[in-house]
Amino acid sequence: MKTILVTGGTGFLGSNLCERLICEGNAVVCVDNNYTGRVKNIESLLGNPNFRFVEHDVIEPFDPGCRVEQIYNLACPASPPFYQGKASVMTTKTCVLGALNMLELAREHGATILQASTSEVYGEPRVHPQVETYRGNVNPIGIRACYDEGKRCAESLFFDYHRQEGVDIKVIRIFNTYGPRMNPADGRVVSNLICQALRGEDLTLYGDGSQTRSFCYVDDLIEAMMRMMASRQGFTGPVNTGNPGEFTIRELAEKVLARVPHGSKLVYRELPLDDPTQRRPDISLAQRELGWSPRIQLDEGLDRTIAYFRGEIASA
């Protein structure tokens, strides 16, 4: 049994990861300030003797009270409505100070630490599909910079701790992920469209809907995370983790409409600033090093996610 610390553990990805780690016989310390996470997401784990939840903000140093062998650093708002505006400074602090605090903890404990980075480090990409060697095209003063540049700085810190302190690091770059336990109010495109359709509202598209994304189902992403954590000694990444299937946002909306026939229609709004027009991962490195490829394609994943949100909305 390993003792594993998960920051951001009550969030969408974190709660799914905690559940998988517990199911595989580990002891888990889940840390979150619940800014975007929800205790509801981990309710099924709270009575497990191998699971402990601590409400804490990783901007401040953290003492787990026990020896930890692995750290998954997932703490950070991940959708624009949550990390922009009044939360932008907090987001940068979470990315940077949170990374520093967790890296120090990993150094002290001799733990392997995984950083949940993001495809947003590529910004508005001029290389398509995106490969890990591409250095990106990010606006450092834009409204998304708190997240984009915060994650880029976190990657820099991870590699400096690896070079200078010998910390065993693993870095993944997560592309758009969706599935059960997404926050209905988090403003991400999949949850937005599904919740609007289930409520009989019109579906909001930004721009003309021709911008593309690649959507990875959460179970596939968790599998990639765990394979990266278990990867060979000295393999640090960064590694793209996402589904290389590329869809326009309009195609996504049409798939949702076909599954939730409530008479909704598509309405168009102005495209937000710095919103990327294309996003698709090259996952050759993940395939080669981790033996990983996503298995759940968009149609199946949408069916599962719609079923989840239907229950959420019915019980609200």
Nearest 5 degrees, angle CA 39-CA 94-CA 277? Answer: 95
**What do you get for the CA distance between the two ends of the chain, in Å?**
38
Identify residue 234 by its one-letter amino acid code. Answer: G
Could you tell me which of 108, 80, 98 has the C-alpha nearest to residue 33?
98
In which residue are the tokens 């974190």 written? 14
Three-state secondary structure call for residue 316? coil
Q: Identify the H or E element spanning 289.
A: helix 284-290
Say how far apart CA 38 and CA 316 lie, in whole Å. Answer: 14
3-state helix, strand, coil in the chain (%, to 5): 40, 20, 40
| Residue of 35, 72, 83, 147 marked catalytic | 147
Q: Active site includes 206? A: no
Residues 243, 211, 171, 94, Cα dihedral to 10°: -130
- Which residues carry out catalysis? 147
